[in-house]
Amino acid sequence: MGPIRSTITRAAVVTLLTAGASIMGATPASAAPGTWAAIAVSVQTGNVGWSYEQPSGGAAASAAVDGCDARDCQEVVRVTNGCAAVAQASNRAWGWAYAASRAEAEREAKRSAPGKGARVIAYTCTGAYR
């Protein structure tokens, strides 16, 4: 479990640094402000939970963790006015990202999963982005 957890931490930092700048100014005028989405994962079981259209980041995280249905579930990504995705490589390493579109979030999540053959496990979007 140690290598997987450190991989998750590294992926989170890289994802936040690379995706964070792109999402900040990417909100179209038609989006409903203040809605949130989140994704939670269980490294131990592989369970994934997600939420969307939540009134706050905390509510989105709680709903995602509740939907994950495992004791070790942790929120890995949340977004307002955009999309988030989680991917897993063939070596079971996780990656995640958020972006202004589903396609971009999925692409970045696969890129952030260290290993080959990454595939999207889950995605969620808010408002006009769905």
Question: CA-to-CA distance for 41 and 19, rounded, in angstroms?
Answer: 19
Q: What confidence score (pLDDT) does residue 32 get?
A: 53
Q: What confidence score (pLDDT) does residue 7 get?
A: 43
Q: What is the pLDDT of residues 18-71, one digit of tens each?
A: 333 233 333 333 445 679 999 999 999 999 999 999 999 999 999 999 999 999
The residue extents of the domains of the chain are 2-129
Q: What confidence score (pLDDT) does residue 34 get?
A: 77
Q: Where are the alpha helices (DSSP H) in the chain?
A: 2-24, 57-68, 102-112
Q: What confidence score (pLDDT) does residue 129 get?
A: 75
Cβ partners under 8 Å of residue 83, min gap 6:
37, 98, 99, 100, 101, 102, 104, 105, 123, 124, 125, 126, 129
Structure tokens at 85: 């995705």
Q: Looking at per-residue confidence, does 129 or 92 come out higher?
A: 92
Q: What is the pLDDT of residues 87-126, one digit of tens each?
A: 999 999 999 999 999 999 999 999 999 999 999 999 999 9
Confidence of residue 130 (pLDDT cuts 50, 70, 90): low
